[in-house]
């Protein structure tokens, strides 16, 4: 009976995985098709003939490298900053005792329940007061602080054995050295998990860059992708659009492939539990 349940479970997982991968796979196939093939009456999962003109069209007509640089710079800077800030804050909440510790942590949890759209108006006025509109600062700074990152790192550091911290302090390490040399290396799975989530969220961000950027040189890939749909032709070039989508997806897919081991281990080992 257990084997039957296991077979059913794996079958459902495989079917679920296929259902999620199929749209992306079909988009990849469409990026190598001509418009005539795309709008053909018969559905084909293999291009015939195999063409790369869609990618050439995107590279020739779009300042793709500039947009790619903007997205990559903003995503890396935001990810690095949030990992550092969330790690330090999470370590403080987990290992230190200070006044108003619990109420402050409750505020962190409450911030996770507030929809991001609620903060857009006050954040915009703050950026305007700092004269940061249409700058990298406006794209990066608001993303450096997140309740989820603090919560994730706090839960991980809370599970760290006290003996290791005590031994390090006996050897002469101060709290900052314990954090850098002991706690942070031990929390590598949680750090990579947070980095993956932050990078993907920042890379895919559309609304906030749309609000705080005005010039074409400051656009990120999602904004440029939305603009591409109706910029060059009255009728959407679906082949070029799917090619553009594939280009936008490559860094996210590569990051997940590189960090999937740590991401899965963090979830399986209970990185989110008390």
The pLDDT tens digits of the residues spanning 46-86 come to 777 788 888 988 888 888 899 999 999 999 999 999 999 99
Residue 5 falls within a domain, yes or no?
A: no
Q: Which of 43-47, 80-84, 243-247, 264-268 has the highest mean pLDDT?
A: 80-84
Query: What's the average model confidence in pLDDT over 95-105?
Result: 90
Of 270 and 89, the one with more pLDDT: 89
- Which pLDDT band holds residue 264 (cuts at 50, 70, 90)? low
Q: Which of these, 216, 222, 187, lies nearest to 201 by C-alpha position?
A: 222
- The pLDDT of residue 274 is above 50: no
- The pLDDT of residue 92 is above 70: yes
Is 200 in a helix, a strand, or coil?
A: helix
E-only strand ranges, 34-169: none
Of 264 and 57, the one with more pLDDT: 57
Residue 11 falls within a domain, yes or no?
A: no
Scan for tokens 């910029």, then name that residue: 231
Is 49 in a helix, a strand, or coil?
A: coil
CB contact set of 177 (below 8 Å; sequence gap of 6+)? 168
Residue 33 falls within a domain, yes or no?
A: no
Q: Please, what is the average pLDDT of the chain?
A: 85
Residue 243 falls within a domain, yes or no?
A: yes
CB contact set of 150 (below 8 Å; sequence gap of 6+)? 86, 89, 90, 93, 108
Residue 85 falls within a domain, yes or no?
A: yes
pTM of the model: 0.85
- Write down the pLDDT at residue 103: 92
Cα three-residue angle 121-142-129, rounded to 5 degrees: 55
CB contact set of 20 (below 8 Å; sequence gap of 6+)? none
Which CB contacts under 8 angstroms, 24+ apart, belong to 61-64?
A: 61/232, 62/224, 62/228, 62/244, 63/216, 63/224, 64/224, 64/244, 64/247
Q: Residue 32 gets which letter from DSSP?
A: T
- Write down the pLDDT at residue 273: 45
Give the total number of structural domains in the chain.
1
- The pLDDT of residue 233 is above 70: no
- Write down the pLDDT at residue 234: 57
> Can you read off the two tokens belonging to residue 154?
């706090």
Evaluate whether 210 touches 223 at the Cβ level (below 8 Å): yes
- Write down the pLDDT at residue 238: 81
- Write down the pLDDT at residue 212: 94
Residue 238 falls within a domain, yes or no?
A: yes
Q: Which of these, 83, 75, 86, 85, lies nearest to 252 by C-alpha position?
A: 75
- Domain with 173 in it: what CATH number? 1.10.3720.10
What does the DSSP assignment read for 5-28?
HHHHHHHHHHHHHHHHHHHHHHHH
- Domain assignment of residue 213, given as a range: 52-268
Residue 24 falls within a domain, yes or no?
A: no
Residue 35 falls within a domain, yes or no?
A: no
Q: Residue 113 gets which letter from DSSP?
A: H
Cα distances (Å, whole numbers) of residue 65 to 27, 69, 72: 22, 6, 10
CB contact set of 190 (below 8 Å; sequence gap of 6+)? 152, 153, 156, 266, 271
- The pLDDT of residue 24 is above 70: yes
pLDDT per position as a tens digit, 130-162: 999 999 999 999 999 989 999 999 988 988 888
């Amino acid at each position: 009976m257990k084997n039957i349940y296991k077979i059913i479970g794996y079958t459902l997982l495989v079917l679920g995985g296929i259902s999620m991968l199929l749209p992306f796979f079909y988009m990849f196939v469409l990026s190598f098709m001509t418009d005539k093939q795309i709008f053909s009456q018969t559905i084909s999962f293999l291009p015939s003939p195999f063409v790369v003109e869609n990618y050439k069209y995107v590279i020739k007509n779009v300042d793709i490298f500039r947009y790619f640089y903007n997205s990559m710079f903003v995503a890396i800077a935001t990810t690095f900053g949030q990992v550092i800030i969330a790690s330090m804050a999470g370590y403080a909440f987990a290992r230190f005792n200070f006044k108003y510790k619990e109420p402050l942590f409750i505020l962190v949890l409450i911030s996770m329940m507030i929809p991001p759209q609620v903060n857009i108006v006050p954040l915009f006025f703050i950026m305007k007061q700092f004269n940061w509109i249409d700058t990298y600062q406006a794209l990066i700074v608001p993303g450096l602080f997140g309740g989820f990152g603090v919560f994730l790192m706090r839960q991980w550091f809370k599970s760290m054995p006290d003996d290791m911290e005590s031994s390090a302090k006996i050897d002469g390490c101060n709290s900052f050295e314990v954090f850098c040399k002991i706690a942070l290396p031990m929390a590598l799975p949680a750090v990579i998990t947070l980095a993956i989530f932050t990078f993907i969220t920042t890379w895919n961000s559309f609304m906030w860059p749309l609000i705080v950027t005005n010039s074409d040189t400051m656009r990120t890939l999602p904004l440029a992708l939305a603009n591409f749909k109706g910029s060059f032709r009255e009728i959407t070039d679906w082949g070029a659009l799917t090619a553009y989508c594939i280009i936008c997806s490559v860094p996210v897919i590569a990051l997940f492939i590189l960090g999937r081991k740590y991401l899965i281990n963090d979830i399986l080992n209970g990185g989110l539990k008390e």
